[in-house]
């Protein structure tokens, strides 16, 4: 069987499109070096198991216990890295794009669960800020179709615990250090300006 290699997805916008909130140099390195490295290492791990090549990342990360033990950590870290970053690029958009705030049933559910939109943003930001070391902050739709906020370490993804990721923020230092240095809080605060709420809302509807 021909081994289907994972490849780097193109960004849905230019590398400088998220300026000034996320700078071009950070986006270039993050996309073409960091994301590419996860893909290369994932492909290397999967080379040994051609029978896994037709499995999607969702299937692999959602059933990690079924992945052969000798490549399980690699799939978790590098497959997770590939999946998380592929989502992350789509979860962002230039700030001038239309529809940059949540609407409809999704907004109602956010407000029912967290209070105001500002309350939600505060909880999400605090959760991301307080994640110790590298990881991600998430808004997910859990198995009971409830909205929940939490963080994960490293490249772990909510899929692994059966939750659907709707919105995620990369809080590895490589995501912000060039522009924001050690000021993770400032990065998180500015990041809200480039959240693609339309995409997040679409994910909410698709996973209901
Ligand atoms: Mn990253």
Distance 127 CA to ligand 1 centre (A): 17
Per residue in 136-188, pLDDT (tens digit) is 999 999 999 999 999 999 999 999 999 999 999 999 999 999 999 999 999 99
- What does the alpha-carbon distance between residue 134 and residue 187 come to, in Å, rounded to a whole number? 14
Interval 129-136 mean pLDDT: 96
So what's the pLDDT on residue 4?
A: 67
Distance 58 CA to ligand 1 centre (A): 18
C-alpha 14: how far from chain center: 19
Distance 82 CA to ligand 1 centre (A): 9
Distance 108 CA to ligand 1 centre (A): 31
Per residue in 79-127, pLDDT (tens digit) is 999 999 999 999 999 987 765 799 999 999 999 999 999 999 999 999 9
Cis before 86 (ω within 30):
no
Distance 197 CA to ligand 1 centre (A): 20
If you write DSSP's letter for every residue of 123-166 in order, what string do you get? HHHHHHHHS-SSEEEEEEE-TTS-EEEEEEETT--GGGGTPEEE
Per residue in 62-82, pLDDT (tens digit) is 999 999 999 999 999 999 999
- What are the C-alpha distances in Å from 8 to residues 4, 37, 58, 156? 13, 10, 16, 19
Distance 65 CA to ligand 1 centre (A): 25
- What does the alpha-carbon distance between residue 54 and residue 152 come to, in Å, rounded to a whole number? 27
Here the tokens at position 54 are: 């037709």
Here the tokens at position 15 are: 């590398």
C-alpha 45: how far from chain center: 22
Distance 112 CA to ligand 1 centre (A): 31
DSSP 195: B
Distance 176 CA to ligand 1 centre (A): 9
- What does the alpha-carbon distance between residue 77 and residue 45 come to, in Å, rounded to a whole number? 11
If you write DSSP's letter for every residue of 169-190 in order, what string do you get? EE-SGGGTHHHHTT-HHHHHHH
pLDDT surpasses 50 at 1: no
Distance 170 CA to ligand 1 centre (A): 6
Per residue in 11-50, pLDDT (tens digit) is 999 999 999 999 999 999 999 999 999 999 999 999 999 9
DSSP 8: P
C-alpha 50: how far from chain center: 27
So what's the pLDDT on residue 98?
A: 63
Cut 0.85: pTM above it:
yes
So what's the pLDDT on residue 88?
A: 98
- Helix axis angle for 80-90 and 36-46, nearest 10°, is 140
Residue found by looking up tokens 């996309």 in the block: 31
């Amino acid at each position: 069987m021909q081994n289907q290699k994972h490849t780097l997805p193109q960004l849905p916008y230019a590398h400088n499109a998220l300026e000034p909130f996320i700078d071009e140099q950070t986006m270039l390195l993050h996309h073409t070096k960091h994301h590419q490295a996860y893909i290369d290492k994932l492909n290397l791990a999967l080379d040994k198991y051609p029978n896994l090549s037709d499995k999607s990342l969702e299937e692999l990360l959602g059933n990690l216990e079924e992945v052969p033990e000798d490549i399980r950590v690699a799939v978790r870290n590098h497959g997770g890295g590939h999946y998380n970053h592929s989502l992350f690029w789509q979860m962002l958009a230039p700030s001038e794009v239309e529809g940059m705030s949540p609407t409809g049933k999704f907004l109602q559910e956010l407000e029912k669960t967290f209070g105001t939109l500002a309350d939600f943003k505060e909880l999400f930001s605090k959760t991301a800020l307080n994640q110790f070391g590298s990881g991600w902050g998430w808004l997910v739709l859990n198995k009971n179709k409830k909205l929940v906020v939490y963080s994960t370490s490293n490249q772990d993804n909510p899929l692994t615990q059966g939750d659907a990721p709707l919105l995620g923020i990369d809080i590895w230092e490589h995501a912000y250090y060039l522009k924001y240095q050690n000021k993770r809080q400032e990065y998180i605060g500015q990041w809200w300006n480039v959240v693609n709420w339309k995409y997040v809302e679409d994910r909410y509807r698709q996973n209901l």
